[in-house]
A and B are shown apart, each in its own frame.
Chain A
């Protein structure tokens, strides 16, 4: 099981050069059944990452480009009158896929955003009175562009909370970029990737991840972290129980990827920035994106033992 995952990671890393840490976190997020928010400038490989992930994991992939005129129906699907049968026939939208890439999610209106986010939370969509289950596994990778904020609708904190992780890929290292420049077009490579898993296999692995052991001592560490965010004055607000559950789920997946069936504090620390960074705000600047310094403070000051 682990070797399969290792192979997946190797394959993704072969396409997305020099981003081992982010790739590992993205896979962790997938294993923990969470959704991923990628925040980066255009052209940093966000789409490539999601595409490769879908390919390697053998998941059905759909991409939704969010624009300001996108309607909820464009995401979820609509019923269209079929003249032959004389009935309304439901045409499922792009959300009925196993891996959905919601590109530039903050360009759409809040109404369309919440259509997607509700689907993410519930695992099902209700259209015209009929409830339709989404595929399982269902994994959303949303991207947003931190620059060029004109004409965008920033995700409110309550919706940010639904993403297990927020990652940013960042510029590639010099060697990676050189390899990128010297190599052939990556799109071709992408087209030829063979899936290493399928969704049943992924399902089994996810079930296995949920069984990774969390000891008392570790739960205490997570509680100390959460407690710190709730009591220390520099935090505008504390982590929600959903936040602490997310932290533990991600730590389990990370430990599993590391080949262990138990979680150690280092696992929590490894996923902490990605998991809680977008859930925290500094009191001094409650509208800003200052989660990063708070996470560093947590890592530095909260005793893991």
Chain B
């Protein structure tokens, strides 16, 4: 029974672990990986049953090339996160067939651990985290099976031991989680392509928002330290669109200004923290007017928050908002120009109507009110499926179809306001969200995406106005789904599931609880880094910085190891044994001359062998061995001096020989 072969139990656990490792990756792996695994697993089993032999070198090379080509074709290249992970998994699978010795099995096991770690790049939810314990358990069991004697190898004890090991690791894990400094990435990892595909974008045509509104995917959650504000007050600003080219709205110059315009806080502030899902975009969501104590982001010229890097992992930030603040009471020329920008031509009926409004109403405020009244009283319909309009989309919407959703209303109103000489812009973001009273937080989903209008009034600054509210107040008060009850078929699965069970009380409660748990996970586990970590540790230990923290962690580990070593080795129990030490030095002296004692070799047998190997030193060697034997076994009184003398003689002679051989 060779020590090098892989025990059956290890193989079984390794294959189980492989399935468990690959399972969470399936969403982004090409399907042929499954076929590859089945083939390799079958081959491995046949090798184990001695029905097949190990693959020859040329076949391994070929498999490597084919897999490389497959990855290239599936992912349009070999670079990038998806392609890299696919390559890793493919290597993990191919190694299964190739492994012969225990060493190979260890390589496969560590590859498995690495593959488990990469799965966190794609999915960092609570369930995914819990699931990943399974492959880790199986890999540990395989590793244990590898180290156990084959006589003992049974699969279940290995798993029990692995589970015990995992449990024992929990305290260490907690300590590391709390204290280990989070090091920023040394290089930027290309993100998974599934990220950042939903959400608001730099510029949007009406259809984009409609599409967004059909997704039940989470955008962010916000928990308030005080009471939850009413739903209708929750206008989460993401971006402003100032430029209109006749078809699409896009960001204007002031949204690129890196300096916040003047504003005066008024009224009571709102304190809340936001845990944002990765959006792939650099802007953050907040209520007006936000202040970020952490300084993670900059308040831009149009009052939106922007970060230097895109949000590619769940991000937590604290905000203080002043909803009643007066924003930019004095409008600079450039901003005013941008707020009045219109395409040179098009939409003549709207322009005419704007001129008429301006003529009949003395103040800008009256114009706005007239517009809102118009939206309220004319037969407008709120729908996610607006009929197509002609070349002049504003005209077509305002006068012909009168069917549309938020961006249509906001866009049309902004157009008319601008045409009437009132600086205004479209704001996009999210409106409302699902209030979770128990957890005092709001979950905002993509279907809460919204667009509204703000216009500028001398003295009052920018004023928010929402034309959608006039058409479909239930959109603001209850949410999108209630606003378009007959268009449910449009929503995607997650949104549908959300709707279907909303009316079953206990199920909805359960869902909200689960949401709460997930949110806690995001907020306290994933969000625990950077300032959060420092803040917590500083609360316990006073002011520390990362360097002190790192030194502390390393120092604590070292002290822990030292204590463990003391407990395990109990040095105070070791009585000093001079004879044994003397013999050890004797062995060292001889080892320098190439004579080494076998572990089971007795003192005399070794001495005699050494004397044979070094005949000219035989006398000194045997004299020492005699002396040692007499003191250690023959009951002569211990005489370390005599033993030392004999030892010195051996060492002298041996050194002399070494010197002479060097001289030759």
Residues in A lying within 8 Å of B, measured CB to CB:
213, 215, 217-218, 233-234, 260-266, 269, 283-284, 298-305
Given A233-B149, A284-B151, A305-B580, also A266-B634 (CB < 8 A) = no
CA A19 – CA B206 in complex, angstroms?
Answer: 105
Q: Decide yes or no whether B635 CB sits under 8 A from chain A.
A: yes
- Which B residues are in CB contact (< 8 Å) with A260? 634
Return A227 CB to nearest CB of chain B, in Å. 15
CA distance A284 to B598 in the complex (A): 27
Contact residue among A234, A265, A303 (Cβ-Cβ distance under 8 Å from B599): A303
Contact check, B604 vs A303: say whether CB atoms are below 8 A apart. no
Docked-complex contact B603 and A303, CB < 8 angstroms: no
The 5 A-B pairs of least Cβ separation, nearest first, read A265-B602, A262-B634, A266-B602, A300-B600, A304-B602
Contact (Cβ within 8 A) A218 B633: yes
Taking a contact as CB atoms under 8 Å apart, the answer to whether A263 and B600 are in contact is no
Interface string of B628-655 (1 = CB under 8 A from A): 0100111100000000000000000000
Give every chain A residue within 8 A of B583 (Cβ-Cβ).
305
Residues of A within 8 A of B605 (CB): 266, 269
Known: A217-B633, A264-B633. A269 touches B602 (CB 8 A): yes
B635: nearest residue on chain A (CB-CB)?
A213
A262 to chain B, nearest CB (A): 4
Can you offer 10 A-B residue contacts whose CB atoms are under 8 A? A215-B632, A217-B633, A234-B151, A262-B633, A263-B633, A265-B602, A265-B604, A266-B604, A304-B600, A305-B580
* Cβ–Cβ contact A234 & B633, under 8 A: no
Question: How close is B624's CB to chain A, nearest CB, in angstroms?
Answer: 14
Distance in angstroms between the alpha carbons of A203 and B42 in the assembled complex:
72
Interface range on chain B (Cβ under 8 Å from partner): 10 to 19
Complex alpha-carbon distance, A218 and B635, angstroms? 11
Residue of chain B at shortest CB distance from A299 = B600
* Bound Cα distance A228, B179 (Å): 44
Complex CA gap A303/B583 in Å reads 13
Question: In the complex, what distance in Å separates the CA atom of A213 from the CA atom of B631?
Answer: 12
Closest B residue to A213 using CB positions = B635
Report how far A217 CA is from B600 CA in the complex, Å: 15
List 19 additional A-B contacts (Cβ < 8 Å) besides A304-B602, A305-B580. Answer: A213-B633, A213-B634, A213-B635, A215-B634, A215-B635, A233-B149, A233-B151, A234-B149, A262-B633, A262-B635, A264-B602, A264-B629, A266-B602, A266-B604, A269-B605, A284-B151, A300-B600, A301-B600, A304-B603
Residues of the A chain whose Cβ atoms lie less than 8 Å from the Cβ of B149: 233-234
Residue of A nearest to B598 (CB): A300
Counting CB contacts under 8 A, is B601 at the interface? yes
B246-290 to A contact mask, C-beta < 8 Å, 1/0 = 000000000000000000000000000000000000000000000
Which residues of B in the span 604-631 have a Cβ within 8 Å of any Cβ on A?
A: 604-605, 629
Q: Report which residue of A234, A265, A284, A302 has the largest number of chain B beta carbons within 10 angstroms of its beta carbon.
A: A265
Q: Which residues of chain B come closer than 8 Å to A234, judged between CB atoms? A: 149, 151
Q: Is B58 an interface residue (CB 8 A)?
A: no
Q: Which of B579, B633, B635 has the most CB of A within 10 A?
A: B633
B144-156 contact mask (Cβ, 8 Å, vs A): 1 or 0: 0000010110000
User: Which of A215, A283, A303 meets B633, CB within 8 Å?
Assistant: A215
In the bound assembly, the distance between CA atoms of A266 and B603 in angstroms comes to 8
By a CB distance below 8 angstroms, the chain B residues around A304 are 600-603
Q: Are B634 and A265 in contact (CB under 8 A)?
A: no
Distance in angstroms between the alpha carbons of A263 and B633 in the assembled complex: 6
**Cα distance A215–B636 in the bound complex, in angstroms:** 10
Q: Which residues of A contact B634 (CB under 8 A)?
A: 213, 215, 260-262
With a cutoff of 8 Å between Cβ atoms, the chain A residues found around residue B604 in the complex are: 264-266
Digitize B135-164: 1 where CB-to-A-CB distance is under 8 Å, 0 elsewhere: 000000000000001011000000000000
Interface pair B635/A300, CB less than 8 Å apart: no
Please give, as numbers and ranges, the residues of chain A lying within 8 Å of B600 by CB-CB distance: 269, 298-304
Contact present for A300 and B599 (CB under 8 Å): yes
Q: How far is the CA of A284 from the CA of B149 in the complex (A)?
A: 11
A264 near B603 (CB under 8 angstroms)?
Answer: yes
B600 (CB) vs chain A CBs: closest residue: A300
Kindly state the separation between the CA atoms of A269 and B583 in the bound complex, as whole angstroms: 19
Query: In chain B, what residue has the closest Cβ to A255?
Result: B633
Cα–Cα, bound, A91→B246 (Å): 133
* C-alpha gap A301/B599 in the complex (Å): 6
Q: How far is the CA of A283 from the CA of B149 in the complex (A)?
A: 11
**Which residues of B have CB within 8 Å of A217?**
579, 632-633
CB distance from B587 to the nearest CB of A (A): 9
